[in-house]
Amino acid sequence: MILTGRSRVGLAVLATLITGGSISFTSAYGLRIGSESSRREVEADLTEFFEMPCDVGKIRGSTFSSRVFEDVSIFLPDRRDRIFHCKAAVWEEEGRGAHRRHTLRLHDGVLLLGSDRWERGDYRQVFESGLGHDFEDLRLDRVEMDRFEVAFARGGVSIRCRQTSGMIDMSDPQDGIARLHAYELNGHSISQGVQIHSRFSPRRGVQVREVLLTVPEVPLSIIGLDGVMGVPVHSGRFAGSVQFANVSDRPELWLRGDLRDANLAELTQRMPFGPLAGTLSVTVYGARIADSTVTDLRGEGRIRDLVLAPLGRVLGGEPLEGQATLAVDDVDLSMGSVHRLRVNGWATDLSVEQCLKPWGRGRATGKLSIRINNLDVVENSIQSADIVVSIVPLEGVAGTIDRALVLSLAQSALDFTWPSMLPQDMLPESIEYRQFGVRLLVQDNQLQVLGTHGRGGNAILTVAVGGVPFEVLKGQSKRYDLGPWIQLLLERLRGMDETRVREWLQRGTDRVP
């Protein structure tokens, strides 16, 4: 197709739509402007060039060196969605001959970067077919945008940046940069402004490299994640960025930022064993999302006052008593691999009876607490761990443990030699215990089970028979290899199909009333 001069000016206007900054333009002027035939010819040429329907409402002269295009629109194929509209686009020329340069000013428009009406091939159509042409002869230095709305609404995420203004710098033929500021996000005024940056190659066909949205600290409720969470999000504050990269059929997102004091129950409604009550604060150094799945995560965070009741579904189907606080000092995960995980924290007031029920070896009474002094995982291997598990009787009541459970722990779990001074047949079916404490030490996937009290500080379980205390379980020098167990767990994770994961999440959403 041979573009006429007037078509090239129109082409310059419409190319602006695609990324709010990834733009290329032409330099020639049409002599006939304002006529209906001229307007129709421009529309037809632009539609053929972009392979997408284009509308131009009116073309008129402004000054000797400028033209105005009014009501400019571009649509997806079959006009399923309008992805760009501008009330007025002013094309200005400066200089002559080899020194001639151009500026484009866009006023009062809407730019759509994606919606649920877009089909899988539309991203490639917009970012590759529509702009994958040779614009090397264009002489546009900058584009100015004023009073625009930049919107993205897809997959439950809804972002609308209004009152958007800024400039697109195209002076470097190899590296174009768009710098925009929006002062309204999803209907809420943002005094500091939301920054929208885009990097692209303005010559030899537009190649979008990234689009970056940076948000100052705002209530999480206005970010537009209600559709993803499954319920309205009311708590927490967020400051950070969303980066769109590899813009094509399967774009990927990178999230970075700080989330403070979020209600964990609102964020875990989609989990089959949720919602989990608690408070979450987290710093995300980098989270990659591709095809609606988190594939990589780096950061640190803290969960306070985590109510453990819903986790009972995983262990035995009944609610668990107790609360937990976890501090994640460092986390670096990818699909099926733990590159780094460093955790400490504690859980208190757990019911021993509830925790033992899934094991099916016997009953015990009391309250259980867990203290994670250190858990350090590097490249799928537990480099080090120091975890203490303690059980104390209920206040005012003697603690008891079934004889069958004690013997099972001694013989099956710990391979412990029973003390000869206390024959097993002398034990009652329900034994009073005075203290229970076990310290789990791990070094390079090798587990050692130690005690916490008694003579030498190495007793695990002290019982009372006839009022006389006996240390019946003690720590062992033997080490247990956790490598096979860890590999089995990782293989199960790696075998999880992404489609099944999304269905799992959707089932969690369907449960929400």
Instruction: Write down the domain spans for the chain.
Output: 390-481
Tokens (6 digits) for 309 = 């009741």
Q: Identify the residue whose tokens are 């209004």.
A: 162
Most distant CA pair in the chain: distance in Å?
A: 111
Q: What is the pLDDT of residue 508?
A: 43
Residues near 222 by beta carbon (within 8 Å), at least 6 away in sequence? 185, 186, 187, 188
pLDDT for 199-210, tens place per residue? 766 554 445 566
pLDDT for 306-363, tens place per residue? 998 877 665 556 678 899 999 999 999 887 688 999 999 999 999 888 888 777 788 9
Interatomic CA distance for residues 129 and 131, integer angstroms: 6
Tell which wins on pLDDT, 301 or 116.
Answer: 301
Average pLDDT for residues 3-22, to the nearest whole number? 42
Q: Is the distance from CB of 291 to CB of 505 less than 8 angstroms?
A: no
Buried b (16+ CB within 10 A) or exposed e, 422-450: eeeeebeeebbbbbbbbbbbbeebebebb
Lowest mean pLDDT among 155-169, 260-274, 496-510: 496-510
Interatomic CA distance for residues 218 and 224, integer angstroms: 12
Average pLDDT for residues 216-230, to the nearest whole number? 76
Buried b (16+ CB within 10 A) or exposed e, 191-214: eebbbbbbbbbbbeebbbbebbbb
Per-residue confidence at 18, pLDDT binned at 50, 70, 90?
Answer: very low
Beta bridge pairs of residue 453:
459
Interatomic CA distance for residues 338 and 263, integer angstroms: 26
pLDDT for 189-198, tens place per residue? 998 888 988 7
What residue type is 475 in one-letter code?
G
| DSSP for residue 36 | H
- Judged against a pLDDT cut of 80, whether residue 273 lies above it is answered with no
pLDDT for 94-103, tens place per residue? 767 666 777 8
Q: What is the pLDDT of residue 504?
A: 45
Neighbours of 400 (CB within 10 A): 17
Interatomic CA distance for residues 175 and 498, integer angstroms: 36
Phi, psi of 406 (to 5 degrees): -60, -45
Q: Is the distance from CB of 451 to CB of 438 less than 8 angstroms?
A: yes
Interatomic CA distance for residues 364 and 402, integer angstroms: 6
